[in-house]
Amino acid sequence: MAVKAMKIRSFLVAVTLALAASVCGSAEQASADTTAQLNASQIAADMGAGWNLGNQLEANTNGYPSETAWGLPTVTQALVDKVRAAGFKTIRIPVSYLRNIGAGPNYTINSSWLNRVQQVVNYAYSRGMYVVINMHGDGYKTVNGSWLICDSSSQAEIKAKYQKVWQQIASKFQGYDQHLILESMNEEFTGDYGQPTQPCYSNINSYNQIFVDTVRKAGGNNSSRWLLIPGWNTNIDYTAGNYGFVLPTDRYRSSSIPSNEQRIMISVHYYDPWDFAGTESGTITQWGPNATNPSKTSTWGQEDFLDAQLKKMHDGFVTKGYPVVIGEYGAIDKSSFDSANNKYRADFARTVAATAKKYGEVSVYWDNGTNGQYGFGLFDRRSYTVTQPGIISAIMSGVGQ
């Protein structure tokens, strides 16, 4: 987050699909998923170390998605190849749609944008990587053009729009095998960081149910595809605890899936303690048992807390056959305040990755493309160079790659 050999069983199918997509730029033709269907524990293990292509396809200008809107260069095959060469086997690609969705009742996605999403997916999919795509910024009130708002009074319109958009996305990718995972949304909540409220949580549950039903009915491999869903703000306590999260039913999935197996994954994020991982100041720069300065170390959120949080997800979901994906984790660069900070960031990343693996969960590092002060970056997206080899090595050590 060691170059790994590409699995022969998926390579030929993936390359064929990717070439076809790059030529026609249109919806994939449905084809049988000829790869061996993996169960929950198998796919979690096979996904290995994960990495986020953050601040790119979810970036926007005035509500219109643009991968260069936030100052990063156009995504290329060379970048994805560098990520893969570093050892990452899974790439999560956050995607916003926003004002690239047309008016109702059809809510047609701008074809150029959906084709570009597919092209970026193919950069990773054609290399045998697992790819997660979601609906990322459409539910943030602070984002221009957002509309997936759980406490809006326009729920009938929102749900109709949500269904139509996912129908188009799922149809576009219907021919992709299980290496393509669809994620319903990202950090969906009211925007207030208190406990979940109603009817917002019920609406989030409804969105997840609409997502599952819509994707399953969209044809091709969607009937057996792994689907990833979050609870309130991808928060562990509000997903695993008794706060209102409801697992969607999966009644339209393929009859070829054994009745005792699932095809739904649960998404949560991990940035605790936030004063170390995300607060933009030089106050808290150290973490973990190797910390040397108590005044620079948070009073909470250390290894025991991390273990307990991921164990909650294991006990609540993994034991029931639902893989858990830590879809985002990481800590910002504060080395300008503390020269040892990157060592503690590496300790944090290694421990999250190792603890997730211990509990049969997948960890996906958040990279926002920014290097230097307050950045999460592991790579320079212009020169395709590794900027944080120590953190990447720690992640690979954590997952055992």
Residue 24: the pLDDT is 39
What the block records as the tokens of 347 is 């300790």
* Confidence grade of residue 26 (pLDDT, cut at 50, 70, 90): very low
Burial 52-91 (b: 16+ CB within 10 A, else e): bbbbbbbbbeebbbbbebbebeebeeebbebbbebbbbbb
Q: In this predicted model, what pLDDT tens digit does every residue of 334-392 receive, in sequence order?
A: 999 999 999 999 999 999 999 999 999 999 999 999 999 999 999 999 999 999 999 99
Within 279-342, strands assigned E span: 324-329
Q: In this predicted model, what pLDDT tens digit does every residue of 276-303 receive, in sequence order?
A: 999 999 999 999 999 999 999 999 999 9
Q: In this predicted model, what pLDDT tens digit does every residue of 228-266 receive, in sequence order?
A: 999 999 999 999 999 999 999 999 999 999 999 999 999
* Confidence grade of residue 36 (pLDDT, cut at 50, 70, 90): confident
φ/ψ of residue 93, rounded to 5: -115, 95
Catalytic residues: 187, 328
List the beta bridge partners of residue 297.
Answer: 286
Are the C-beta atoms of residues 261 and 39 closer than 8 Å to each other?
Answer: yes
CA separation for the pair 108, 104 (Å, rounded): 8
* Least confident residue range of 2-11, 51-60, 133-142, 160-169: 2-11
What the block records as the tokens of 84 is 């893969």
User: What number of other Cβ atoms are within 10 A of residue 202's Cβ?
Assistant: 15
Average pLDDT over residues 78-83: 98
Q: Identify the CATH homologous superfamily for domain 8-399.
A: Glycosidases (3.20.20.80)
Integer Rg of the chain from CA:
20
pLDDT at 14 over 60: no
